[in-house]
Structure 1
Amino acid sequence: MTKNKSLGVNALLNGIRTVLNLLFPIITFPYVSRVLQVENIGKYNFALSLNQYFLLIAALGITTYAIREGTKYRDQRKEFDQFASEIFSINLVSTIVAYLLMVICLITVPKFYSYRLIILIFSIELIFTTIGTEWIFSIFEEYAYITIRSIVFKIVSIILLLVLVRKPEDYIIYAGITVFANAGSNILNFIHAKKYCQLRITLDCNWRKHIAPILVIFASTMATSIYVNSDMTMLGFMATNYEVGIYSVSSKVYRIVKMMLSSVLVVSIPRLALLMGQNRMGEYKKTLMRIFNVLTILVLPAVVGLYLLSKEIVLLISDATYIQAVTSLQLLSIALAFCIFGWIFNQCVLIPAKKEKIVLIATIVSAIANIVINFVLIPVWKENAAAFSTVVAEAIMMIICLYYGLKVVRLNSDVVNNIVTVALGCIVVSLICILIRQLGMPDIFTLCISVFASVLGYSFSLILFRNRIALEFTKKVFIRLKK
């Protein structure tokens, strides 16, 4: 039997890993944005957005499917060996297809000619991600190993960046370091995976059993990727590298905050899939409601703070040449709430309930809306149009997933009470940020003091308004302090 890890410990470990993944761009982006300058940052991010599509084709939605189905076999070594080998073999085939499509695009699309080298560098990540089989470690909830591995590779990558990236033309080197940071550790994954299963390439597998659900998830993931990455891609085609560079700042902040908040969800998905798969609906609902309440406490004040402190954040991670990114960051801060709450019902309710087709429909509708808005508004509003399209797409996704998700599991009264107390706390955060800005301090002091004061004010307000999660947390802290 595989011992169940503590969900709290998993969340902590994955949170540490997420923080490490966040620290890499937080530490590096202020440096590279100044060294590489707006135009080359635009080139880098346009090529990166293109690579995401090929990376998606290689991944084929396998991670989500493997985690959902693999949890059923993790206590049965022989069955898991066969399952993992089948999934790995399918993944290798999809990776080969992705490389073939990339070569065709590089040969036939004139726009890509000047980006060939950097696209090829980014493409190394495709094969490394496939052999990394990170879904195996998610199934066995091995977040300690993943966290330690991340620490080593992030530290090495930061050292390489500071040593090798010294002038604007070094954006190619920066791309190589990015690939090393993201995918280099996957060789260790492949070796370490032997602890859990014996991977082999096999053609003797039930393709029909796996391919149908994988393709449904892939179609949904592809549609998601379109509305996540189409902003940058369409900006690259319809505007200039300058607008792409500006939007890179706001989208970078948006993704960093989204990654940080979603770390709670990432470690919860295997556990929720296991509980629903074993029809332990009481435990499933209790776990889901707690996750929903915790995320509500974290997400809503983050949205408010990000919106009100957008100017200070942009200036902190870049410089005054990127100040144009403030408006798009404010728009993306609104999208953040829609994204996280939509993801709860998407990944934690509909996917475990095998409602992939609903997720697919929701994602396709969102992607179409995103592309249409981008096509119409980018020529006029540039990067702000890209941000606005993300808001609309995430809102559509959340509404559809919420509607169908509530048919699977109903929210209890604790959720309503939690939302009310959090909303009152967000008013406190707003007042604090507005008042501190009126003091006219330098931007860095305004940001730091606003964040510190907002955290204190928000925490006290939750306790004052009798938020159950906050009271439970406070009680645990006092109990530990007394020991």
Structure 2
Amino acid sequence: MNRSRSLGINALLNGLRNCLNLIFPLVTFPYVSRILSVKGMGIYNFSNTYVGYFLLIAGLGINTYAVREGAKYRDNTTNMSLFASQVFTINIYSTIIAYLLLFVSIIIFNNLSNYVACIIIFSIQLFFTTLGTEWIYVIYEDYSYITIRSILFKIISLALLFMFVKNKSDYLIYAGITVFSAVGSNILNYIHAKSMLSIRIVRKTDLHRHLKPIIIIFASAVAVNIYIYSNNIILGLLKGDYDVGLFSVAVKIYTIVQGILTAVLTVTIPRLAMLYGKKLFNKYHALLAELINFLIIISLPAIVGLFVLSKEVILLIAGEKYLPSTQSLKVISFAIVFSIFSWVFSDCVLIPAKREAKLFRGTVITAALNLIFNFILIPIYAYNGAAFCTVLSELVMMVINGYYSWDIVRNIVISRNVIKNLFDSLLGCLGILIVCYVFQLYIDTIIFRICMSIVASAFVYFCILALLKNKVMIYLIKSGLKFIKHN
């Protein structure tokens, strides 16, 4: 588990940023869900999901492509500036196209009339996401700047929320604050990026070189987003805002937990892309093995804990009127592990290996199956059916990506270390199950029950893995002791 200090610091900073993204909805969502009611949340989430498709068009898969290709140029400022300017220019063009398509869709589809105002507010993200050029910071692994500005804008957004969201009709204000929180700092990002590189709009974009891989990655992203977002869209069309509101609570919590767990994964992607691009395969495989082992150790207990405490988490975050979504949260919690390892195979293996065509093939298959799952299960099981569709889709995507990555990951996946980590983690999860069920029997207060369950479960899990002499846990213990000693 020996890894450079910079990668550890990046993981810590990105974890902090993800924790902020966790704390913000944990603080705001209970307040907003009670103020706006289920229908208001349904309109908000439908609009956000709808604009998500056009954000995808504006993004054009450029972030993924830029990180993969830019990682090879980051030691040469001249080449990196040229590459960044070309990619930024292409991104501007795709953003203009996205806006045109969005406004045409609003004109054509009359049934969007109730959502127009909210959609327009969310559409502000298109321009500012492009302007933010966050992929530059990912390439240079500059997570300190991103984390600092996240803290600042989350604090400002929190203050604005409590000041201006006061009644059921304020969902438009909430949408505006959400946009400000997400992309308000992107002007600062762009200014700061220009101090690092000479980034500008250029005439010659070298489109023939960039466009093909960008389009393939974009097509894959479209297919992925079909099976991510189509659940909300189809649920809204077949059932209504109430069901979307209930399902959105489960998805919100699922997304928060997933985001925390992927902090290490996110910061490792550019490093893996750089190692593979420079053909440093021994170092690449060593880092990939460490990543997979670590994700096994942290993802399985998170799933078990979320499954057992689903009711308590729903009550704490959203309130009693959202209790029907408890079953959805239990079901969708299983999608976490499938989603994480699908992401490992796609962004850490297939993309660096330039197998985006195979990734596209897998995502198209998954998207098609997801649509079929949705139209079969949602009419019968409503929001619970949508949750099960998410699990099935993430499982299919993981299996397909794993299949196309098998020649690269085979020796890692079937290694003794991975198998032992899986066995150790499952035993530790058994301890978590026992702890959580005991506290459910004897502790009545929701907040106290959740806090005690998390603390005790973590301690029991930690102890079981330490007794089993788990290498990942031993590394974490040594790192923690070393940090305490030096500080």
TM-score by length of 2: 0.97
Task: Report the CA distance shift for 1:5/1:356 in structure 2 as closer, same or farther (over 3 A).
Answer: farther
Task: Select between 190-199 and 121-130 the one with higher mean Cα deviation.
Answer: 190-199
Measured after TM superposition, the shift of residue 474 of structure 1 is 1.7
Is residue 382 of structure 2 the alignment partner of residue 379 of structure 1?
no
Measured after TM superposition, the shift of residue 71 of structure 1 is 1.1
Summarize deviations over 1:152-211 as a string: whole Å, max 9, x none.
000000000000000010000000000000011000011001122112111212101101
Q: Distance in 2 between matches of 1:413 and 1:272?
A: 22
Q: Distance in 1 between matches of 2:166 and 2:136?
A: 38
User: Which of 409, 415, 419 is equivalent to 2:418?
Assistant: 415
Q: 2:303 maps to which residue?
A: 303
Is residue 272 of structure 2 the alignment partner of residue 272 of structure 1?
yes
Q: How does 1:422-437 map to 2 (within 5 A)?
A: 422-437=425-440
Task: Report the CA distance shift for 1:363/1:451 in structure 2 as closer, same or farther (over 3 A).
Answer: same
Q: 2:358 maps to which residue?
A: 358
Summarize deviations over 1:84-121 as a string: whole Å, max 9, x none.
11101100110011001001110001121111111000
Measured after TM superposition, the shift of residue 478 of structure 1 is 3.5
Q: 1:324 maps to which residue?
A: 324
Unmatched 5+ stretches in structure 1: none
User: Which of 447, 456, 459 is equivalent to 1:456?
Assistant: 459
Q: Distance in 1 between matches of 2:318 and 2:400?
A: 36
Q: Distance in 2 between matches of 1:393 and 1:314?
A: 24
The letter of the residue matching 2:460 is G
User: Which of 460, 466, 469 is equivalent to 1:466?
Assistant: 469
Is residue 67 of structure 2 the alignment partner of residue 74 of structure 1?
no
Q: How does 1:73-472 map to 2 (within 5 A)?
A: 73-409=73-409, 410-411=411-412, 412-472=415-475
The letter of the residue matching 2:471 is R
Q: Contact (CA 8 Å) 1:369, 1:389: kept in 2 or not?
A: no
Q: Distance in 2 between matches of 1:5 and 1:378?
A: 48
Q: Distance in 2 between matches of 1:477 and 1:336?
A: 27
Q: Contact (CA 8 Å) 2:89, 2:205: kept in 1 or not?
A: no
Measured after TM superposition, the shift of residue 56 of structure 1 is 0.4
Q: Distance in 1 between matches of 2:81 and 2:452?
A: 53
Unmatched 5+ stretches in structure 2: none
The letter of the residue matching 1:423 is L
Q: Distance in 2 between matches of 1:349 and 1:5?
A: 23
Measured after TM superposition, the shift of residue 480 of structure 1 is 4.8
Measured after TM superposition, the shift of residue 404 of structure 1 is 2.0
TM-score by length of 1: 0.97
The letter of the residue matching 1:154 is K
Task: Select between 361-370 and 457-466 the one with higher mean Cα deviation.
Answer: 361-370
Summarize deviations over 1:284-312 as a string: whole Å, max 9, x none.
11111111111111100000011111000
Q: Contact (CA 8 Å) 1:243, 1:382: kept in 2 or not?
A: yes
Q: Distance in 2 between matches of 1:127 and 1:405?
A: 35
Q: Distance in 2 between matches of 1:473 and 1:130?
A: 38
Measured after TM superposition, the shift of residue 472 of structure 1 is 2.0
SS of residue in 2 equivalent to 1:324? helix
Measured after TM superposition, the shift of residue 476 of structure 1 is 3.3
Q: Contact (CA 8 Å) 1:5, 1:141: kept in 2 or not?
A: no
The letter of the residue matching 2:112 is F
Q: Distance in 2 between matches of 1:280 and 1:158?
A: 45
Q: Distance in 2 between matches of 1:313 and 1:71?
A: 40
Task: Report the CA distance shift for 1:479/1:6 in structure 2 as closer, same or farther (over 3 A).
Answer: closer
Q: Distance in 2 between matches of 1:444 and 1:59?
A: 40
Q: Contact (CA 8 Å) 2:87, 2:205: kept in 1 or not?
A: no
The letter of the residue matching 2:382 is K
Task: Report the CA distance shift for 1:463/1:77 in structure 2 as closer, same or farther (over 3 A).
Answer: same
Q: Distance in 1 between matches of 2:369 and 2:315?
A: 31
Measured after TM superposition, the shift of residue 5 of structure 1 is 7.1
Aligned-CA RMSD value: 1.2
Moved over 3 A (4+): 476-483
SS of residue in 1 equivalent to 2:333? helix
SS of residue in 2 equivalent to 1:6? helix
Task: Report the CA distance shift for 1:283/1:108 in structure 2 as closer, same or farther (over 3 A).
Answer: same
Q: 1:48 maps to which residue?
A: 48
Measured after TM superposition, the shift of residue 440 of structure 1 is 4.9
The alignment-based identity, stated in percent, is 46
Summarize deviations over 1:51-83 as a string: whole Å, max 9, x none.
100000000000000000011111111111111
The letter of the residue matching 1:255 is T
Q: Distance in 1 between matches of 2:200 and 2:349?
A: 32
Measured after TM superposition, the shift of residue 214 of structure 1 is 0.3
Measured after TM superposition, the shift of residue 477 of structure 1 is 3.2
Q: Distance in 1 between matches of 2:348 and 2:375?
A: 32
Summarize deviations over 1:108-157 as a string: whole Å, max 9, x none.
01121111111000000000000110001111111000000101000000
